[in-house]
Each structure stands twice: as C-alpha cells, then as structure tokens.
Amino acid sequence: MVKLVDKPHFPDTCNSLKRRKFIKSSAAGAFAMSLPILPTFPSLAPETRFGVAEASYMLRRYRKLESVEYPQFTNALDMIEHFNDLGFGGAQITMSGLDSKLAKKIKKKRDEYDFFIEGQIRLPKSDGELARFETQVKETKEMDVDIIRTVCLSGRRYENFDTKDAFEQFRKESVAAIQRAEPIMRKHKMKLAIENHKDWRIDDFLEILEGVYSEWIGVTLDTGNNLSLLEDPMEVVKALAPYTYTVHLKDMAVEEYEDGFLMSEVNLGDGFLDIEGMISIIRKHNPDIRFNLEMITRDPLKIPVLTDKYWATFDEMPAIELAQFLRNIKQHKVDALPRISNKSVEEQVALEVENNRASLVYAKEHYGFS
C-alpha cells in the first residue's frame, strides 16, 4: 500500500507560504534561481485572443468518432475553420507534413482571421529521429509559428510504469531527447514548450530544465494535470510560470472513489481552480503569453492513490501531506462528475463542441479574452 513516513520531508502542497519557503531553501530552489527566467513587462498589453488546444477535440481528432453533424477533421485547415467559426482566436495543433498548397491556404486563413497558431511535435527519442524532428521544426517555422508544444510522456506516470527503475529510465531517455532537440530549436530560433503531462512533479521538472538550461526550452503550463500527482495546481502555476511559453487553460472537478479520487476537465467556471488568479500570475511573467483552452470531453480519470501501483515510481511521502491533499479533495468533491460513455456517438461529439463553446464564452465574459 501507500508508503508513508512519520516526519514530512516535502512541503505542504496545501500551504503557499511553506511551498515558497521550500522552493527557496531546497536544491530545486537553487535550480530555479539559476534558470533563464523570462523577463517581466508590466507595461505591455496582454494577448487577449483565446486559443484552443487540439486535444480539446479528442473525440473527432484522435478517436475519430464518426458523426453526421460533426464529421472528422481531415487536416489543420478544417480545424482552423471550425475554431474560428466557434469564436476562438488561435489554436495549438499538429501541422507537420503539409503540402505547399495546403500550407498557403492555412496562411491565408490565419491572416484573414487574425488567428495565432502554435505547433505540436514529438521529441526525437533517438538520433535516427533527428532528421524527422528538424524537418517538422522547419515546416512549422515556415508557417510563421514560433512556439511548438511537446510532451515527454504520452500517457500517465502512475499507469505507464510499474517500478521506480522503469521511471528513472524514462527520465534519462526524456532528458536525452530534450538535449537532442535543443540545438535544432536554437538553430531555427524556435521555442520548444514541454508540457507537465502527468509525468513530472514540480521539483523534477525544474531539475530537468536546469540540466538543459536554454532560452529555447521552456514549458507548456497545464493548469490541472499535476492534481494527478498530488500537487496543488496553484503552486504548480507559481513554480512554472517563470519558464512558461504557452498555456493549457483548464478547470477541474473531483469525485471520490474506492481507490482514491476521480478527476475531470470541466467547463471553465464549473470547477474549483482559481483560474483568474492563475492567469494573473502567468501574465506577470509574460503578459503576451497565449492561452489555449484544453477542455477534454471524456469519462473521469482514475487517480488510484490508495493502491500500491500508484506509488511505484514515487519517493516516500509523509502521511500528513497525503492526508492534507485528500482532505482538500474531500472539500472540493462533487456528487458525480460528467460521463460520456453512456451517450451515443452523436451526443458525445455534439457535447464536445458545446463544452468548448461554453468555456470560450465564459472566458470572454469573465477573464477578459476577446
């Protein structure tokens, strides 16, 4: 079962003051102080166009559900057309492998709509993938894109790995992949934004960034993912905001279950995250940063913190920290999170569109997006 120790040696993730003191006094804090932090420009007007991440359309883009009313996207242009029609001002999408004709159409529509685009790319996991990686970087830059989002892990740490050794091997491979990518990003003057994708806790991520130490390597800051790693979302934002190039903005809700808790992305304003406060913190470091909605319509994710497997890749955690986190979950829990597996395909895809529309409207009405 869960490995507990009597005395806490980690910060209280539910206490902001303790967390800040820990960051300043720990090795992770030393790393953070030496990283190439983005300068602040308080006098600049913020970027107010609100974008959307490709994963917000997981059902149509990745699961490729067949729908009469909302057919599958065939290419990036289809997605941009839909996003613009809905009212979004930008998007973060995979655009590699474009032929010149399609690329010209996308550029024309982007300019016509005053639409920003950020790219997505897979890290080079071996030297044999470097040519592919550089080709995709060049193709993306030719679209006048300056930021590319990536991940180290496509899955979830507590599901993908059964042992600490397996996770440590993944960590070594991830660091090597980032180090392979950095010279290419530097050569083409493109920013690579690595997401906190249910893989790295704060201290791990800061240490990895320190190891690379490059102005071309930063963060795609996801405002909800680290709940699954038992970290306070606001503390994650505070720690990673100085190194963030782009944002996945999402709200979260939780529900208890026998092995831990369930969590779901929910429409902006329906969850318990302080989204307005998070936006303010992030913009203090970079007022021109772009925010992309990531509202994933799906059944809740299981976070099985009361099982042995969940803890296989973690160091020991103090009982008091786990108790405080679970107490907060209990305080914020809802009776039932939304589920889609009991709906028809047409209902699921229609709900995906409606969730994105509703969150976009809320962002414009409450967070100052245009």
Contact at 8 Å (CB) between 95 and 76? yes
**CA dist., res. 157 & res. 18, Å (int):** 26
Residue in 299, 301, 303 with CA at minimum distance from that of residue 326: 303
Give me the helices (H) in the chain, please: 16-25, 27-34, 58-61, 76-86, 100-113, 130-141, 157-160, 164-188, 202-212, 233-240, 275-285, 319-332, 345-366
Fold held by 4-366: TIM Barrel (3.20.20)
Residue in 120, 123, 122, 76 with CA at minimum distance from that of residue 101: 76
Quick one: pLDDT at residue 11?
32
Residue in 208, 328, 209, 235 with CA at minimum distance from that of residue 22: 235
Rg (CA), the chain: 20
User: Up-side HSE of residue 105: CA atoms within 13 Å toward CB?
Assistant: 13
**CA dist., res. 151 & res. 154, Å (int):** 7
Quick one: pLDDT at residue 26?
46
Residues in the chain: 370
Quick one: pLDDT at residue 42?
45
CA distances (Å), origin 124, targets 51, 170, 176, 209: 27, 14, 9, 17
Q: What is the DSSP track for 330-352?
A: HHH--S-----TTS-HHHHHHHH
Quick one: pLDDT at residue 326?
94
CA distances (Å), origin 112, targets 80, 106, 217: 11, 10, 31
CA distances (Å), origin 46, targets 187, 246, 247, 289: 28, 13, 14, 7
**CA dist., res. 259 & res. 159, Å (int):** 14
Q: What is the DSSP track for 9-54?
A: -S--TT-HHHHHHHHHHSHHHHHHHHS-PPPP-TTSPPP--EEEEG
**CA dist., res. 201 & res. 52, Å (int):** 25
Contact at 8 Å (CB) between 309 and 162? yes
Quick one: pLDDT at residue 37?
52
Q: Is 327 helix (H, G, I), strand (E, B) or coil?
A: helix
Phi-psi region of 64 (alpha: psi -120 to 50; beta: other; left: phi over 0): left
Quick one: pLDDT at residue 316?
85
- At position 223, the amino acid (one-letter code) is T
Exposed / middle / buried, residue 25 (Cβ in 10 Å: 0-12, 13-18, 19+)? exposed
Quick one: pLDDT at residue 34?
52
Contact at 8 Å (CB) between 49 and 338? no
Residue-wise pLDDT tens for the chain (370 aa)? 443 333 222 233 333 333 333 333 444 444 444 555 554 444 457 899 999 999 999 999 888 888 999 999 989 999 999 999 999 999 999 988 888 999 999 999 999 999 999 999 999 999 999 999 999 999 999 999 999 999 999 999 999 999 999 999 999 999 999 999 999 999 999 999 999 999 999 999 999 999 999 999 999 999 999 999 999 999 999 999 999 999 999 999 999 999 999 999 999 999 999 999 999 999 999 999 999 999 999 999 999 999 999 999 998 889 999 999 999 999 999 999 999 999 999 999 999 999 999 999 999 999 999 9
